[in-house]
Structure 1
């Protein structure tokens, strides 16, 4: 039985791979957590994000986007002074900004998840060739979503970041074809097969 190679690096990676990565997200709170972690990761390793996840949850009120959207200067200071926090005022400000933009998307679409999943027709995308590698860092879909989010005011949402977000939230299934997670997703959720989408490897 195959297994995605990166999932064997350490226990945090294994747990994330087995129970979260690629599992479909249709909950706006969970979607905001994923998006925020991806944005915070810019310039850092994903392993660091997983190690600091509980710290982020503590600092950002467990990723409650309505609370985050209302943060003020005192909250910025509190977050930056949280032990173990990434000390980047720009990223903290961006997270607050993104929470506010997130609310606006929800006002327009009802749910942020509906906005994201609308790009995939509500189905998990299986790109030809991805299941047997190599996997791109971005593609046409992530570039289009990135452009739309930046137009709406979001920060730290480049095409590479958004591609990672789509993988994490199950919009794109990039598990290895022999991975049990790939088989589980294909067997239990609606999927659509597509050709590679102007990809950057």
Structure 2
């Protein structure tokens, strides 16, 4: 039996996310966008709630296709507000279009969102050394900097705390605890 980071022991949904996604370096721009949208939807909620609604949101949000989401309008937002399977917050749903447009602009400017986000750390993963979940910060100077830059570029619902969680999710920051089997496997894999 694997010893995992304590936060993910709640159920199989959390364990699967921890074991197969969280902290794995993600190079796929479509997945980077999906994680970005999920983090923006999570603001003020638990990540577990987001994971439980993820598949419904993937279906409702056209597979997290940024080109489609960029064209969402008030009519689409009103339609999404009727969907009981997803997270329903009008401002967050309205931000889908703004975030998609900003994402596509960043991709155009930098060649990929992966290149944009990894330039903040000189393309080197940050591997933290923590024994207890209480030692993991909610935000850092790095997440402050990236959140400011994202806001300047038109992104919404992505403050420093959400950005730090995003950096953990996509593998820029490895916050697997020292006793976790994901840490003990050595180098993180990428997707």
TM-score by length of 1: 0.88
- Supply the distance in 1 between the matched residues of 2:42 and 2:188 (Cα, whole angstroms): 30
Correspondence list, 1:12-91, <5 A:
12-91=13-92
Conservation of the 8 A alpha-carbon contact between 2:40 and 2:162? yes
Runs of 5+ in structure 1 lacking a partner?
191-201
Q: 1:188 to 1:162 in 2, by over 3 A?
A: closer
* Matched residue SS, 1:3: coil
Shift of 1:137: 0.2
Q: Distance in 1 between matches of 2:103 and 2:29?
A: 9
Q: CA deviation at 1:182?
A: 1.6
Consecutive unaligned residues of structure 2, counting only runs of 5 or more, are: none
- SS for the counterpart of 1:119 is helix
Q: CA deviation at 1:55?
A: 1.0
SS at match of 2:7: helix
Q: Deviations over 1:101-123 (max 9, x none)?
A: 00110111010111001111212
Query: 1:187 aligns to what?
Result: 187
Deviation at 1:173?
0.2
CA distance in 1, matches of 2:177, 2:152: 33
Question: What is the Cα deviation at residue 38 of structure 1?
Answer: 0.6
What's the CA shift for 1:89?
1.2
- Equivalent residue for 1:176? 177
Report which structure shows greater RCO (CA 8 Å, sep ≥6).
2
Distance 1:93 1:61 in 2: 15
Q: What CA distance in whole angstroms lies between the structure 1 residues aligned with 2:140 and 2:81?
A: 34
Q: Is the 8 A contact 2:24 2:188 kept in 1?
A: no
2: distance between equivalents of 1:52 and 1:109?
Answer: 31
Equivalenced residue count is 188
Contact 1:126 / 1:172 at 8 angstroms: preserved in 2?
Answer: yes
In the TM superposition, structure 1's runs of 4+ consecutive aligned residues that sit over 4 Å from their partners are: none
> What are the Cα deviations for residues 82-112 of structure 1, in whole angstroms up to 9, with x where unaligned?
2322221100111211000001101110101
Given that residues 69 and 99 in structure 1 are in contact (C-alpha distance below 8 angstroms), is that contact kept between their aligned partners in structure 2? yes
